[in-house]
Amino acid sequence: MKRTLIRYKTRPEMADKNAELVAAVFAELKAAQPDGVRYMTLRLEDDTFIHFVESAADDSGLPKLAAFQAFQSGIRDRCVEPPMPRGLPWSATTACWARVRQGAMELQ
């Protein structure tokens, strides 16, 4: 399993556009139902976005999705703090995914 956390902060005037692009990724993921992929995004009140990605394989398949490509296009222009990916150990994600299952952004 590969687990990644990506954090970035958008420009205030670009935060809603970024959220729309993220929603499109979720819609395409829901339609595609890729095996072994879990994806969750949080938007904080200061327009910081935090993405959690877990995939069974090293390649989650996300980069192949048209909505993800649209999301990635111009991401640095939308940000005041660029995306910073970090690996996550399993212990940090177990409780999080258990809560997500109850509340609904998990694609499984």
Q: What is the 3-state secondary structure (H, E, C) of the chain?
A: CEEEEEEEEECHHHHHHHHHHHHHHHHHHHHHCCCCEEEEEEECCCCEEEEEEEECCCCCCHHHCHHHHHHHCCHHHHEEEEEEEEECCHHHHHHHHHHHHHHCCCCC
In the predicted structure, residue 86 carries a pLDDT above the cut 60: yes
- Report the range of poorest mean pLDDT among 16-20, 26-30, 54-58: 54-58
Write down the domain spans for the chain.
2-103
User: What digits encode the pLDDT tens for the residues 35-84?
Assistant: 888 889 999 999 999 999 888 876 777 888 999 999 999 999 999 999 99
Q: Which CATH class is domain 2-103?
A: alpha beta
